[in-house]
Amino acid sequence: MPLTGRKTLTQYLIEERRRFPEASGDFNALILDVAMACKAIARAVAFGALGDVLGNHAAAAGGSVNVQGETQEKLDVLSNDYFLRITEWGGHLAGMASEEMDAPYQIPSTYPRGKYLLVFDPLDGSSNIDVNVSVGSIFSVLRAPAGEDREVTEADFLQPGTQQVAAGYALYGPTTMFVLTVGNGVTGFTLDPNLGEFMLTHPDLTVPADTQEFAINASNSRFWEAPVKRYVDECLAGKTGPRAKDFNMRWIASMVAEAHRILMRGGVFLYPRDCKDPAKPGRLRLLYEANPIGFIMEQAGGRASTGRVPMLGVQPDGLHQRIGLVFGSKHEVERIERYHAEPPARKDLDNPLFHERSLFRV
C-alpha cells in the first residue's frame, strides 16, 4: 500500500478472492462496475445545480412518475442509466431490476450473459436531492438460474434475502462512502475524490446491540399498528416511563443515510406496516431496499425484520413488493418483534387498528 497507506476496494476484493481459488473473478469485476456507477452518481450529485441535474425529470412535459406512481427526479433517471450502462457490458449479469423500471432489464444481445442478477434502488431518498441532504444507492446481487439461456423473468428475481450473494450501498453525503457485504462481515470504503478510488476506512463494521436512538416518520402515527405505537410511546416516555431511559429521535427521509448512521453508532429504524393505504403494506420495497439493508445489518450483528418475522426469510411475491421494515440494534428489533407477538393488551382491543388487520400477517 505504498501510495496512500490504505487498501483500495480493488485490492480488498482481490485479496478476498484469494481465499476462493476456484472463483472466476466475475463477481469482483461486477462489484467494481457497481462501484464505478456509484462514483458517476456521486459526481453528478456533487455538481448539483451546476450540473443541471436538479428537479423533476420531465417537469416541462407535466412531470414524470415511475412504475410506483412516484415522482421521478432527473437524478433518479440519470442514476438508473449509470447503473445500466456501466454494468451491462461486462458479461457478469443475466439481468437487472430497478425501482425505476417496471419490468426486468434484459442484457442487450451484443453483450455476453453472466451468472448474476443485479437489483438496485439507483437513488434512495431522492426527495432530498433538491435540498442538498444525503442520498444514496442500494444494491443486491443474486444468482441467476443456472444453465438456462433465455431472457430473465420477474420470477427469477423473487428470491428470499438469504439467497443474496452480496449487498451494499453508496452514500452521497459530506463524504461518499461505499459499504459492502459478501456474507463475511461488513466493510466500509471512503471515496478519495482526487484518486477516484474507494479506500478501505471502516473494516468489520458492527451495530451495537443496545441504543437510545430511534428513527420513524411520526407523522404516520395515526396509521400505526398497536405494537409500534406502544414501542414509540415507551421511547418517548423516557426516564420516567417503562424503559427508564431517555431516547433521541431522528428522521432524515433517506433510508440509506439512516442505515449508515445506525451502522456507525447504533439505533433502530422503523417504516412499519401501517393502514395509511390498504394497497401498500409498508412504504419501502423488499427486493432493493429491505433485503440489501437487512443483509448488511445482520452481517454487522444487527437485526432486520418485518416486525413479525426476519426480513431475509420472506419469500417475495413481486419485483416492487412493499413491506414493513424494522432494522438496527439487535435488542431493540427483538423487543419490537416481541411486542408484535404478544397478545394485545385489553385496552388495545378497542383500537380499530386491531380490528382491521391480523397480527399474524407478514
> Interface with ligand AHG by CB under 6 A: which residues?
70, 99, 121, 124-126, 217, 253-255, 271, 283
Looking at 92-100, 129-137, 221-229, 245-253, which segment touches Mn ion (CB under 5 A)?
92-100
Nearest-approach distance from CB 144 to Mn ion, in angstroms: 23
Is residue 124 part of the contact set for Mn ion (CB under 5 A)? yes
Determine the Cα angle at 337 with ends 304 and 235, to 5°. Answer: 95
Looking at 79-87, 94-102, 106-114, 210-218, which segment touches Mn ion (CB under 5 A)?
94-102
Nearer of residues 120 and 224 to Mn ion, judged by Cβ:
120
**Binding at 359: pick from Mn ion, ligand AHG, none (beta carbon under 5-8 Å per type):** none
Nearer of residues 119 and 144 to Mn ion, judged by Cβ:
119
- Taking CB positions, which residue lies at the least distance from ligand AHG? 255
Residues 6+ apart with CB under 8 A from 134: 125, 128, 171, 172, 173, 174, 252, 254, 256, 257
The set of cell numbers assigned to 155 is 420470477
The answer to whether 211 and 332 have CB atoms below 8 angstroms apart is: yes
Residues 6+ apart with CB under 8 A from 308: 337, 340, 341, 359, 360, 361, 362
Nearer of residues 217 and 315 to ligand AHG, judged by Cβ:
217
Rounded to whole angstroms, what are the CA distances from 340 to 205, 343, 348? 29, 8, 12
Distance between CA 229 and CA 11 in Å, rounded?
47
Nearer of residues 138 and 144 to Mn ion, judged by Cβ:
138
Nearest-approach distance from CB 32 to ligand AHG, in angstroms: 24
Among 121, 156, 197, 274, binds Mn ion (CB under 5 A): 121
Residue 235: closest CA among 217, 215, 220: 215
The answer to whether 243 and 237 have CB atoms below 8 angstroms apart is: yes
Among 33, 99, 156, 197, binds Mn ion (CB under 5 A): 99
Nearer of residues 40 and 67 to ligand AHG, judged by Cβ:
67
Q: Which residues bind Mn ion (CB under 5 A)?
A: 99, 121, 123-124
